[in-house]
């Protein structure tokens, strides 16, 4: 039965278009719709409306940009939804919007899965991670289609959990970009070529493992790791104090350095541990 699941895609931008390409490569040619008729015409399964996608598909991947577009698409899909239709929301939206859209689906006899995806530029290469939230039985039913799209499918929990995970992941991404910007500004002010900083970081930590190293230690719950927390807090405070002093020398504003120093004990402590 999994081979006969019919797939649909609404929204044929970088992610949606890539998803359609991946599905086609796997032999599951999707029925597709995009508000730009010329874009949709490049795909063999193009139809004229979201309703036609819902009428022809068992699993529809909704790859529009924002919550308003997702609502509009869902309205069209549900006008032709058959019982058992699964809508997979690929758009990153607020978690309450996920529950709102799920309620609309349920009223029409359909099911919703929230599915953050990353990295979007790998969509056409079956190279994304699908970050899912929703009922396990619905995930299982949609899984053959998702496996044709993603290199890995991660079921994070109930409805909304996939979106919450994607949002948290984005916090790390955008937050780290901001931290890097602040660090580069500081290095440049001290006369260091930013390319040199990149070389040092990539040589010392080529896999980027440092970013999640402390979280991994906390999750591992090794007693020895707990014991070093006060020592690491002292090192953090010393090193970030030096960063603040350097910033002061060159008149550079480093609010994230100050925040990281102040939050150091809370950041490094295990969930049930207090560090002064």
What average pLDDT is seen over the chain?
93
CA dihedral 138, 141, 144, 147 (to 10 degrees): 10
pLDDT band at 97 (very low <50, low <70, confident <90, very high): very high
Beta bridge partners of 152: 129
Does 263 have pLDDT greater than 90?
yes
Q: Answer whether residue 147 is part of any domain.
A: yes
Residue 65: the pLDDT is: 92
Task: Please tell me whether residues 89 and 210 are part of one structural domain.
Answer: no
Residue 46: the pLDDT is: 96
Tell which of 117, 134, 165 closes a domain.
165
Q: Answer whether residue 254 is part of any domain.
A: yes
Q: Answer whether residue 28 is part of any domain.
A: yes
Q: Answer whether residue 65 is part of any domain.
A: yes
Interval 182-220: pLDDT, tens:
999 999 999 999 999 999 999 999 888 888 888 888 888
pLDDT band at 259 (very low <50, low <70, confident <90, very high): very high
Strands 128-133 and 150-157: parallel
Task: Please tell me whether residues 72 and 161 are part of one structural domain.
Answer: yes
Number of domains in the chain: 2
Beta bridge partners of 89: 62, 114
Task: Please tell me whether residues 6 and 124 are part of one structural domain.
Answer: yes
Q: What percentage of residues in the chain have a pLDDT greater than 70? A: 99
Q: Answer whether residue 190 is part of any domain.
A: no
Does 1 have pLDDT greater than 60?
no
Task: Please tell me whether residues 6 and 115 are part of one structural domain.
Answer: yes
Count of residues for the chain? 276
Task: Identify the CATH number of the domain in which residue 54 sits.
Answer: 3.40.50.720
Q: Which domain holds residue 89?
A: 2-165
Q: Answer whether residue 258 is part of any domain.
A: yes
Task: Please tell me whether residues 23 and 113 are part of one structural domain.
Answer: yes
Distance CA 74, CA 101 (A): 8
Distance CA 98, CA 103 (A): 9
Task: Please tell me whether residues 46 and 117 are part of one structural domain.
Answer: yes
Q: What is the pTM of this model?
A: 0.87
Task: Please tell me whether residues 132 and 23 are part of one structural domain.
Answer: yes
Does 2 have pLDDT greater than 70?
no
Task: Please tell me whether residues 158 and 223 are part of one structural domain.
Answer: no
Residue 3: the pLDDT is: 64
Residue 276: the pLDDT is: 66
Does 84 have pLDDT greater than 70?
yes
> ∠ CA(257), CA(230), CA(272), 5° rounding?
95
Does 21 have pLDDT greater than 60?
yes
Q: Answer whether residue 185 is part of any domain.
A: no
Q: Answer whether residue 194 is part of any domain.
A: no
Burial 133-146 (b: 16+ CB within 10 A, else e): bbeeebbebbbbbb
Tell which of 110, 144, 165 closes a domain.
165
- The average pLDDT across 107-114 equals 97
Tell which of 165, 192, 226 closes a domain.
165
Residue 40: the pLDDT is: 94
Q: How far apart are the first and last CA of the chain?
A: 59
Distance CA 50, CA 12 (A): 12
Task: Please tell me whether residues 138 and 214 are part of one structural domain.
Answer: no
Residue 221: the pLDDT is: 79
Residue 204: the pLDDT is: 94
Interval 111-155: pLDDT, tens:
999 999 999 999 999 999 999 999 999 999 999 999 999 999 999
Interval 23-68: pLDDT, tens:
999 999 999 999 999 999 999 999 999 999 999 999 999 999 999 9
Residue 224: the pLDDT is: 79
Does 222 have pLDDT greater than 80?
no
CA distances from 82 to 110, 130, 144, 160, 187 (A): 7, 25, 19, 23, 59
Task: Please tell me whether residues 115 and 212 are part of one structural domain.
Answer: no
Task: Please tell me whether residues 127 and 235 are part of one structural domain.
Answer: no
Task: Please tell me whether residues 71 and 140 are part of one structural domain.
Answer: yes
- The average pLDDT across 250-269 equals 93
| Residue 58, CB-side half-sphere exposure with 13 Å CA sphere | 16
């Amino acid at each position: 039965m999994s081979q006969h699941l019919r797939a649909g895609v609404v929204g044929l931008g970088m992610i949606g278009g890539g998803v359609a390409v991946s599905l086609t490569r796997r032999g599951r040619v999707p029925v597709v719709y995009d508000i730009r008729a010329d874009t949709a015409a490049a795909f063999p399964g193009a139809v004229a409306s979201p309703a036609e996608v819902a009428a022809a598909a068992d699993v529809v991947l909704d790859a529009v940009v924002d919550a308003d577009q997702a609502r509009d698409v869902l309205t069209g899909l549900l006008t032709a939804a058959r019982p058992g239709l699964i809508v997979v929301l690929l758009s990153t939206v607020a978690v309450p919007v996920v529950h709102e859209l799920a309620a609309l689906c349920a009223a029409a006899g359909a099911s919703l899965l929230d599915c953050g995806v990353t990295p979007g530029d790998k969509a056409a290469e079956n190279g994304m991670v699908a970050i899912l939230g929703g009922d396990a039985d619905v995930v299982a039913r949609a899984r053959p289609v998702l496996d044709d799209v993603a290199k890995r499918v991660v079921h994070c929990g109930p409805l909304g959990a996939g979106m919450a995970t994607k949002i948290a992941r984005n916090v790390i991404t955008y937050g780290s970009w901001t931290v890097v910007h602040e660090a580069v500004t500081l290095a440049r002010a001290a006369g260091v070529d930013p390319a040199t900083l990149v070389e040092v970081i990539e040589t010392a930590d080529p896999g980027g493992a440092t970013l999640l190293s402390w979280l991994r230690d906390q999750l591992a719950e090794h007693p020895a790791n707990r014991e070093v927390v006060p020592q690491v807090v002292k090192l953090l405070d010393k090193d970030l104090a030096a960063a603040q002093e350097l910033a002061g020398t060159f008149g550079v504003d480093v609010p994230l350095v100050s925040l990281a120093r102040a939050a150091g004990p809370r950041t490094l402590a295990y969930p049930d541990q207090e560090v002064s």
